[in-house]
A and B are shown apart, each in its own frame.
Chain A
Amino acid sequence: MTVSTTHTPATDLGFLLVKHPDRVQQFEMPAGQAWVMFPEATAERCTAALLLDIDPHTLTSARNRAKAPESAGLGQFVNDRPYAASSMLASALGKVFRSALRGASKDRPELAATPIPLEIAVPVLRCRGGAEVAARLFDPLGWATSVTPIPLDDGWGDSRYVELRLTGTLRLSDALNHLYVLLPVLDDAKHYWVAPDEIEKLIRAGEGWLADHPERTLITRRFLSHRRALTGAALARLAEEHRRLAELDERPEPDTVDEPEEERRQPLAVQRRESVVAVLRELGAARVLDLGCGPGALLADLVRDRRFTEIVGADVSTRSLEIAERRLRLDRLPERQRDRIKLWQTALTYRDDRLRGFDAAVLMEVIEHVDPPRLAALEDAVFGHAAPVSVLVTTPNAEYNVHYELAGMRHHDHRFEWTRAEFAAWSARVAEHYGYTVRLHGIGEHDPESGAPTQFAVFTREVSA
């Protein structure tokens, strides 16, 4: 990274940064060395370069990997950290130019408080969310932002990296604080676990500019590594600072490209859960299985109703079960309440004796995540082996997708989405084979052409006398 100025005398930059322009200085960093030097130092133009020489093998040492979040990608042995600007560069900035960041200068105090013409170049920066995010972050701060994409090998198009150039007339300390905050924000993969003291760093570095920044939510969220609790706290403090609470509702981040399409249609998800719970009540089910419970949205609804005396959330993902456990606050529930809920790891392609003997099993948006050739195993495990009195199945209605402007299916992990005819045929076959009767419904707004967005089948076992 280089910082240049054409302020005269330009060599005053050395005073502001507290680094002698004629010396090459080396600093030890946790993962390598930082160098500061001045490739140019004339009265007309002076350039300070901060060069970070990261040793990739320090990064990948077991100790460092254990310390860093997975998202930082340090687990990859071939990784871009030695070559791209990141939170490590920001850390180096914070260490090497500490007093300049504070705006303090023993030798040129008035210059430190004065905006000067600056030019900043970052040769390689990973820019998450696309090049235009950089402009959205820097432009409101008075920079002219120029972003040049860096191509991959021949024919593969652009890489995820850009070359960033900023020009503007700003106080040096502001410029450095912008970089300190925004470089890691653009990279969006901190090399260390973010702790609550990170809020202090953000508030300090963002003083005077962050609270007004139109993208402060995005900045705060990413700077705090998407940790919800911390982000909330930081936003509240920024809000307090300006007493503009009203504006600071959490707005959806425009940049969540990999967020599942469906999750955002809250109303449909809610309607689905409501329909399922209503049918469970109607059936008089007291002991209920939520198969493929995921993070436990339905479980939370079920827990609220005392008529469900035993609620089992089952999922193959231990991670999802952990989230469900937190969401349900199981550890804080009174014992009697807690005993109603169980969370089990299971896989629906295997028979699981624990799942036998329940009043009802819910497969809410589950079957479409199973490869069609494995559906028979699921049918055997659920309808044949667990064999609850009732089985409630919801799945997307492929015909309704015309309303969504989708390229493919509603979720990247969907293995299939069925038309109403396909779902009806499957339901009828399963019901016939396992001795159930089935009723079909729709959930969500019913379209005369394409039906409702969600299909819903309620299977009830014919209990032999």
Chain B
Amino acid sequence: MTELLIPDLSLVALVGISGSGKSTFARRHFAPTQVLSSDYFRGLIADDENDQTASTDAFDALHYVAGKRLARGRLTVVDATNLQEHARANLVKVAKEHDVLPVAIVLDVAETLAWERTEARADRTFGREVLVRMRRDLRRSLPRLQREGFRKVHVLRGPEEIDAATVAYEKLFNDRRELTGPFDIVGDVHGCRAELETLLTTLGWDVHRDASGYAVSASHPQGRTAVFVGDLVDRGPDTPGVLRLVMGMIDAGTALCVSGNHEAKLLRKLRGRDVQLTHGLAESIAQLEAAPRELTDRLPRFLDSLISHYVLDGGRLVVAHAGLKEAYHGRASGRVRSFALYGETTGESDEYGLPVRYPWAQDYRGKAMVVYGHTPVLAAEWVNNTICVDTAAVFGGSLTALRYPEKELVSVPAEAVHYAPVRPLHTLPGAQRPADALELSDVTGRRHLETGYGTVTVAAENSAAALEVMSRYAMDPRALLWLPPTMAPCSTAPEGEFLEHPAQAFEDYRSVGVTKVVCEEKHMGSRAVVLLCRDEEAGKRFGVSLGAVWTRTGRPFFDDAAMTEELLRRAGVAAEAAGLWDELSTGWVLLDCELLPWSAKAGGLIREQYASVGAAANTALPAVRAMLATAAGRGLEVSALRDRMARRGADVARYRDAYRRYVRLTDGLTGITLAPFAVLAAEGVSFASRNHGWHLMLADRLCAADPELFTSTQRRVVDLGDEAAVAEATDWWSTLTEAGGEGMVVKPFEGLAVKSAKGRPVQPGIKCRGREYLRIIYGPEYTEPETLDRLRNRSLGRKRGLALREHGLGLGALDRVAEGAPLWRIHELVFAVLACESEPVDPRL
């Protein structure tokens, strides 16, 4: 029995003449979707598997599909004769393009057997001479395969060997996904042994020494593993000491190390190649010459064993010396190694003559965290889930380690400037890089977004529509951490004079297993999201001073920046007085509020829309009624019309009352108040899981601190099983709405991220609006019984779906803010909320 070992990600080419049993072999050892057969592709292109004129197109398509599979990291088997060099060259090319290893499995059977099998098949009509030619091609090919680029060539001779063969998979060396850490990932050491020992000790490692006092190994009481990003050697004072310690740790299984460019160069030197003794190599060579033989003898083997990168912790962590773009993670090829060791350069040089590196990290959009070194920086900083931990220890900076998964940085300062830097330390890249640069492809096109609360699909045209709003009118994305989701109304009341009634709101929640709700007074104002910062220092990361206030579409709430500043300043004073900063141990907080009065933001709308209609109606209806009175006076039968017009007149009067209630004169901030009802997030935390009692308690403390600026929210907490409480809340709603209130919002008491009994997300809130208020929405006369009946057919499904999707996106954004995700990861979700808002949904809901 032959076991064929193949890398678990590879492109496998089956090689053999017609009738050698390739398809049978493929069926036996691989999943149907892994096998791309040329016959099948000919059929796909030309409806005839044997149509040789379709071969060129069929192979184009096959290579295309193979490329797509390999890009996604799927093993792919090509079932074709692959007897000609050009055919195989194409496969090798596809494999190389995706940095996977090409493997050949040759099925070598006698021509007689193949002919027997061919004759047994009705669809094979070629003559025996074709097989003869194929056999000749195969014989010629066999010795060439290795040279053509196939990293493994398995040859199975005769049907018995073919039948007996099994396939086994081997992992690539870089695949250490089974190691879950925790890790301490150490930046470029460059011979700084003393600093390395200090760093390890600081990290809690025990450094083991031999009789002579040399550090020969280290272990961590909590079983942590060290990962070195390479460049252990050169420039620094004690390269042999560093190697002794790290090699010992690797032997002891407490460390991993990837190769740096300096290791690669040292190895070439040790192998006798002609390399220049520059960039600190001379120091290493001198030190190694003085080092004991038992250390230096082990060195070539050690250096040769270092691989280009590691994929760790289930694929969530990648360590490579110079970083690694996502397409190269877990791949193996010359260019992957080259990228991992040297990075990509633009071909240009900077003013110090150093190569300008292509800023791959800024384009990085991968899921895995990439930790790397190679390029000295002043301080390690996150860029799109990547971090460079080379903090220039040898140049007098510091030696840094990243604790994973804690994402905590630990540094120890260099004991001296061991090597003169080519460019001064203070000019190193650090703070000035635009980590917050966003790419168009982060937000446009059809998008599938995993929020952690379900996947949301955004249509390309909705993204396109949102792009204009976002780029032309919205806030700076750095501050725009969240957008409020739309909210669905309660199910429509089935009968009576109400369209919306608390009974349905309560039933909506009961039916999904929510037992306790909070009913919050719905303020009639404009939605305002407030990012409040304790001081300008806290505001820096958001590109603001004291914070920002924005509308539900992400626009700055006030045109006047001074008004925003004044509001934030006062809110900040209140937050200080209320003890918010210390209690939440944060420098900023994100508040969901309603800003009152409605006329402060919507003055123009009220005037142009609501008051205009009011004026027109208020003039037209009396004129009509006067005309009808005259007509009735001369005996015309118009009583039905007169009744109808009288009712319309009364409706219009109530309508005018409805919108006028929300109009209040304001002057600057005077007359403006904020009604906060949720504390969404603060430093490192999303408060989505806190119950509404907590949210409102904090809101109340703000109100107490500055009752002029903050308005409290009336509420009732209702146990849905308690009839009396339900009745009391219903009465409260009636009183509220009859007095002109907009209505209430019913929310699951337990918080924003509540799930139903079946584990599905439930609406975070359901609005239940008052009868009079709805005149502003459905028109002055919507209460006419026949109109009301027609409105009962309104369909809520779309609105509810939209509300849930937007809510999920918002929660996802808060989580990402909390975990310190790169800006594009937050922005893509916030943007998607805006894109969802472009969906055509009845705006009255």
Contacts and interface: CB of A to CB of B under 8 A. Distances in A.
Interface of A: 2, 22-24, 35, 37-41, 49, 51, 53, 56-57, 60, 76-80, 82-84, 123-124, 126, 150-153, 156, 159-161, 163, 316-318, 345-353, 369-370, 373-374, 377, 380-381, 384-385, 464
Nearest to A75: B843
B844 A159 contact: no
A164 B781 CA distance: 26
Given A83-B616, A161-B612, A77 B778 contact: yes
Contacts of B434: 380, 384
Given A40-B634, A80-B617, A370-B472, 13 more contacts: A22-B636, A51-B627, A57-B779, A57-B787, A80-B613, A124-B616, A150-B615, A163-B619, A351-B440, A352-B440, A369-B472, A377-B476, A384-B434
Interface stretch (B133-141, B294-302, B441-449, B527-535): B441-449
Nearest to A26: B641
17 contacts: A23-B636, A24-B638, A39-B636, A49-B631, A53-B644, A76-B609, A83-B616, A124-B616, A151-B615, A159-B612, A159-B616, A346-B440, A347-B468, A347-B471, A350-B440, A374-B476, A380-B437
Interface in B608-660: 609-617, 619-621, 623-624, 627-628, 630-631, 633-634, 636-638, 641, 644, 655-656, 660
B751 interface: no
Given A349-B471, A350-B438, A373 B631 contact: no
Given A35-B641, A351-B440, A123 B636 contact: no
Contacts of A350: 438-440, 442-443, 471
Contacts of B779: 56-57, 60, 77-79
A159 B615 contact: yes
Contact of B612 (A23, A41, A160, A464): A160
B21 to A, nearest CB: 47
Contacts of A124: 616, 619-620, 623
Q: How would you classify the secondary structure of chain B's contact residues: helix, strand, loop or mixed?
A: helix
Interface string B657-678: 0001000000000000000000
Q: How large is the interface on B (under 10, 10 to 19, 20 to 34, 35 or more residues)?
A: 35 or more
Closest 9 CB pairs of A and B: A347-B471, A123-B623, A39-B630, A83-B616, A39-B631, A159-B615, A83-B620, A352-B440, A350-B440
A369 to B, nearest CB: 7
Contacts of B426: none
B230 interface: no
Contacts of A385: 437
A352 B471 CA distance: 13
A83 B627 contact: no
A351 B437 contact: yes
Interface in B513-558: 543
Contact of A347 (B470, B611, B621): B470
B615 A464 contact: no
Contacts of B610: 78
Contact of A153 (B616, B656, B778): B656
Nearest to A319: B468
Interface in B585-618: 607, 609-617
B619 A150 contact: yes
Contact of B438 (A82, A346, A369, A377): A377
Given A77-B779, A380-B437, A152 B612 contact: yes
A41 B843 CA distance: 47
A78 B437 CA distance: 43
B789 to A, nearest CB: 11
A161 B439 contact: no
Nearest to B665: A155
Contact of B464 (A82, A318, A352): A318
Interface of B: 348-349, 434, 437-444, 464-465, 467-468, 470-472, 476, 543, 607, 609-617, 619-621, 623-624, 627-628, 630-631, 633-634, 636-638, 641, 644, 655-656, 660, 776-782, 787, 790-791, 843-844
B844 A77 contact: yes
Contacts of A347: 440, 467-468, 470-472
- Residue from B441, B472, B609, B628 with most neighbouring chain A CB atoms (10 Å): B472
B607 A156 contact: yes
B780 A78 contact: yes
A377 B613 CA distance: 43
A76 B476 CA distance: 31
B616 A78 contact: no
Contacts of B781: 56
B609 A78 contact: yes
B631 A24 contact: yes
A348 B106 CA distance: 55
A57 B790 contact: yes
Given A150-B615, A161-B612, A77 B439 contact: no
Contact of B615 (A53, A57, A161, A346): A161
Contacts of B439: 350-353
B631 A83 contact: no
B611 A316 contact: no
Nearest to B436: A377
B476 A317 contact: no
B616 A161 contact: yes
Nearest to B790: A57
B446 to A, nearest CB: 14
A114 to B, nearest CB: 26
Contacts of A318: 464-465, 468
A349 B439 CA distance: 9
A300 B610 CA distance: 43
Nearest to B831: A350
Nearest to B356: A464
Contacts of A57: 779, 782, 787, 790-791
A305 B444 CA distance: 32
B636 A37 contact: yes
